Chain A
């Protein structure tokens, strides 16, 4: 029993130390990202890799979620004679919650683990040190560009995923009820309010920041050779996924304070 208690204390201690290190890492990001030189070319390259190269995955997932969500909820809503509420229900749930969190989780898996593995591998093969000795600030070149790219690209990916999810829902509705595209989307936009779209979009910036930050942190401080690279990639996904739910909870809590939703 004593041993379990000691292990628990150790785990809490390690968690707090890591939390402090991540906070310091984030602080370094804010301290350095506005200071020249700016790595614009590298930033744009990452925007392309993170944004454009994730479109297919995010789009396909969003589209299927829209299809499945509508197919699953339709029978229940029909029982209550509320099938006409499907566009409203789907759009509000997709835009407010499902779209942002599912897209962020997919990106944590694809982008976060990729960043963790790439930077981890650069660390263990001394490529980061080589960059440093060539007179380049690797934190600016590798970390800031990636965090900025994930922060700016995730909202765009979420908007794209949301649109395809709603479009998927429309396809089901048009097959079952022969609803026109215009009618369906008129209903979608008539129900969506400012308070649905803006807070949901703002939180996606935080999601993107968290994905970039944790991926970079885990990779940048990777240790223990190739085993460490695997661990860095894995930990990037696990930590980011947990953090996404925490951010989501805080975002919903804050939104509830400011808007009567």
Chain B
């Protein structure tokens, strides 16, 4: 992959909960148009790391720069502004269960009217996002009427509605059957092509990583233990790395 501009740069990130050190000098660079997969054991701090990127978690040391803006130095307004450029797909989809699918998708639009210009009717934008995940027919359903896979796709549509340039995926295929997982992976690939997004994908799923990663980082003991393409890491002889590909 040709060298493009760095849009997320993490240096020496340190995060701990009480005495439990989760990230201890973690580094990461995400380049424009790249799909970067981060793999690690449960509790290794992968999700915490992407939550630090979006400002959901504070960190005790190091630096996170998104489009050259230091996250810890942004005030609330600046952070909210930056967040409109970053989509976040939660592990459990996190759809607002008191709202219909339409309202779920309209919610970010109504909060950021600048993003939609003078549009008074948001339906075309909602439909466009739903069509991109193949669920336009579910527009008036409530989240409790959707299957796990549908919820994940609707959550992806909600992530896309503000047309972010960066998408952070937190375990996008966890808890889904193999067929639905494959559908989600294909969807992620098509979104990347269609919207030219840059993504960080947190996953345990080797098939997902293989299908989508331009580059991978293995997060072990709070550090980026190994970095490279899927094939390079798969061929590594280090037992700690091999354990991920068994």
Contacts and interface: CB of A to CB of B under 8 A. Distances in A.
A145 to B, nearest CB: 13
Contacts of A130: 88, 90, 94-96
Contact of B83 (A121, A125, A133): A133
Given A135-B81, A135-B108, A129 B97 contact: no
Interface string A100-125: 00000000000000000010011001
Interface residues of B, number: 25
B81 to A, nearest CB: 7
Contacts of B76: 137
Nearest to A129: B56
B124 to A, nearest CB: 20
Given A129-B56, A130-B88, A135 B80 contact: yes
A111 B76 CA distance: 31
A129 B91 CA distance: 12
B182 to A, nearest CB: 24
B112 A135 contact: yes
Q: Interface of chain A, helix or strand or loop or mixed?
A: helix
A132 B55 CA distance: 9
A69 B122 CA distance: 56
A133 B95 CA distance: 13
B193 to A, nearest CB: 24
A137 B77 CA distance: 10
Contacts of B92: 125-126
Contacts of B94: 125-127, 129-130
Contacts of A126: 90-92, 94
Nearest to A137: B76
Interface string A122-161: 1001110111111111000000000000000000000000
Contact of A133 (B81, B88, B91, B98): B88
Q: Interface of chain B, helix or strand or loop or mixed?
A: loop
Nearest to B76: A137
Given A125-B97, A130-B96, A136 B88 contact: no
A129 B83 CA distance: 12
Contacts of B107: 131, 134, 136
Interface in B59-101: 76, 80-81, 83-84, 86, 88, 90-92, 94-98
Contacts of A127: 94-97
A216 to B, nearest CB: 16
A130 B92 CA distance: 11
B3 interface: no
Contacts of B112: 135
B97 A133 contact: no
Nearest to B57: A129
A2 to B, nearest CB: 27
B137 interface: no
B232 to A, nearest CB: 32
Residue from the set B76, B81, B91, B98 with the largest chain A CB neighbour count within 10 Å:
B98
Nearest to A128: B94
Interface in A178-204: none
Contacts of B96: 122, 127, 130-131
B128 to A, nearest CB: 18
B108 to A, nearest CB: 4
Contacts of A122: 96
26 contacts: A118-B98, A122-B96, A125-B94, A125-B97, A126-B91, A126-B92, A126-B94, A127-B94, A127-B96, A129-B90, A129-B94, A130-B88, A130-B96, A131-B96, A132-B55, A132-B56, A133-B56, A133-B86, A133-B88, A134-B83, A135-B83, A135-B108, A135-B112, A136-B107, A136-B111, A137-B80
Interface of B: 51, 54-56, 76, 80-81, 83-84, 86, 88, 90-92, 94-98, 107-108, 111-112, 158, 162
